[in-house]
Amino acid sequence: MPAVSAAAAAWYALHRHVFSRQQAKLRPFLILADPLLVWAGFALAYAVRQMLPLERVFFLTPSVRVLLLLAGLAAWVLSGLWIRAYDEVLAARPLRIFTRAFQQSAVAVTALVIIEYTQRLDLSRPFLALWALFTFLLLASARLLARHGYRRWSGAGARRYVYIGGTGETARRLARLVEQSGGYGLELAGFLDERPGQVELSRAYPVHSFTDLPQLLETRVVDDLLFAVDSRQLADLEDLLLLCEEEGVRTRFHLGFLPHLHSRVDLEFLAGEPLLTFAGAPHDDFRLLVKRAIDIALAGGALLVLWPAMALIAALVRLTSPGPAIFRQQRCGLNGRRFVLYKFRTMVADAEARKAEVAHLNVKKTAFKIPNDPRLTPLGRWLRKFSLDELPQLWNVLKGEMSIVGPRPPVPEEVERYERWQRRRLRMRPGLTCLWTLAGRDELDFDEWMRLDLEYIDHWSLMLDAEIILRTIPHVLFGRGAN
């Protein structure tokens, strides 16, 4: 079963990249079409709700109708951008298109319900449900039609004849993926290698010599060349690449010649100069901007709501032990930037000076962590159990030094002891909560901390952030896994 899942993931990834250019062209039209579809769903829902023989008479004043419609348009488009519903219409299977449209409508109508409560609007729940249902059906249907029509109109549905450069294991794996992509217009035509022959997959495919490529381009239809070759062969392929460029043949390289590369790869341009970009952390500027906006909204809102409780905690810290209420410590942030982290003081005032006395009690390999640290004050022990000591870090979030979700910020001395693979966790803005907060917090060993932080970076999405935030709440309320 895992092998089937891996093959399915690779199959989907190939489709997504094959149609990435076409998808980039289609995406703006999908975004522009959504407001029209949301408006149509609104009109249908309004008409149907008025016809329903329910007890309550339904009517919206013109001003409320306009405001609600504008809020709905914004909610559906923003939720579509958030869950990336516009990014995979050409490559996705029909079920996934329906799923994405359903998720988009669910998020949008949830936002409308929140607006209803906060603005104290008296809206009909059947109307909101009908609006969500009709818009979901319209979005899914329109995207399926757009997918079918665009591929036919643009020629994406025509057969594309693909040749694979190389005959090694990677080349054969790519060839099998191309074979599985017949429904997307791809057809494996053969291989290129240093020696001619045959490759047996679902059937026998001819292997042409690299030197035969000029003749192949003259006598055969060659739409795409996928190279999966050893790094030692790259220099010998320069003339072939120039030939393909002159002929207008689309050429792609599998990055197997960089065997340990796990970064995201993009082609970017600096003043017209092509740059192949490798990124070991998320670099989607729009989604990172949305993440930052969410951080500001949540941190700002939390500070406004919690400031009385924070003032009370600060007073209790000062009254129960000598020393300042706020503890300041230098930490490492995004890409190693130093910043001052704020916490409510949970230890005696001279805790840093006494660190050497208790160093033998440390249970972590690289980080400094002592269960039931003797330097803790009675109030501090309680604050730590429920993570209340971390509340001042909302100010760090508001300043942009931290995020709500992200790897916890380490102290510089800890970073100096990092192994090379562990330093990649610094490539994401540090946060108040993270994956290992949910997996056991202080009960986990240091390597597991690192592994979970890197897993978060590799799979980051706005939905993952939302899930971590929601799952953190009960962990903090019940003090699970904290020492």
Domains of the chain with bracketed CATH: 2-154 (no CATH), 160-260 (3.40.50.720), 285-477 (no CATH)
Whether the predicted pLDDT of 366 surpasses 70:
no
Model confidence pLDDT, tens digit, residues 53-99: 877 777 778 888 888 889 899 999 988 888 888 877 776 778 888 99
Q: Is the pLDDT of residue 372 over 80?
A: no
AA letter at 199: V
CA distance 258 to 266: 15
In 83-194, which ranges are continuous DSSP H helix? 94-119, 125-154, 169-179
Q: How many C-beta neighbours within 10 Å does residue 270 have?
A: 7
Res 329: pLDDT: 93
Q: Would you say 395 and 361 are in contact if contact means Cβ atoms under 8 Å apart? A: no
Measured over the CA atoms of residue 27, residue 29, residue 30 and residue 31, the dihedral's sign is positive
pLDDT tens column, 155-195: 444 577 899 998 888 889 889 888 876 655 678 999 999 88
Q: Tell me the per-residue pLDDT of 378-415, one tens digit each, with 9 for 90 and over.
A: 998 899 888 899 999 999 999 999 999 999 999 998 88
Q: Write out pLDDT tens, residues 19-66.
A: 555 566 677 888 889 999 999 999 999 888 888 887 777 777 888 888
Average pLDDT over residues 324-343: 92
Cα-based torsion angle of the residue sequence 142, 148, 154, 160 in order, rounded to the nearest 10 degrees: 150
Q: Which amino acid type is present at position 414?
A: E
The arithmetic mean of pLDDT across residues 104-119, rounded, is 85
Residue type, 171: A
Q: What mean pLDDT is predicted for residues 117-139?
A: 84
CA dist 131 and 104 (Å) reads 13
Task: Provide the 3-class DSSP secondary structure of residue 45.
Answer: helix
* % of residues, the chain, pLDDT over 70: 82
Q: Reduce the DSSP state of residue 329 to 3 states and report it.
A: strand
CA angle (403, 409, 412) in 5-degree steps: 145
Residue 435 in tokens: 């994956």
Condensed to tens digits (0 to 9), the pLDDT of residues 209-223 reads: 988 988 888 888 888
Gap between the Cα atoms of 66 and 330, Å rounded: 50
Write out the two tokens for 47.
């008409």
Q: By the 8 A CB rule, do 340 and 330 touch?
A: yes
pLDDT above 90 covers what percent of the chain? 29
Average pLDDT, the chain: 82
**Of 424, 433, 336, the residue nearest 393 (C-alpha):** 433
- Tell me the sheet residues that pair with 226: 164, 252
> Can you tell me the distance from the alpha carbon of 222 to that of 218, in angstroms, rounded to the nearest whole number?
9
The overall pTM is greater than 0.75: no
Q: Is the pLDDT of residue 310 over 90?
A: yes
- Residue 6: pLDDT band with limits 50, 70, 90: very low
Q: What angle do CA 94, 97, 98 make, to 5 degrees?
A: 90
Task: For residue 284, name the pLDDT band (cuts at 50, 70, 90).
Answer: confident
pLDDT confidence bin for 260, thresholds 50/70/90: low
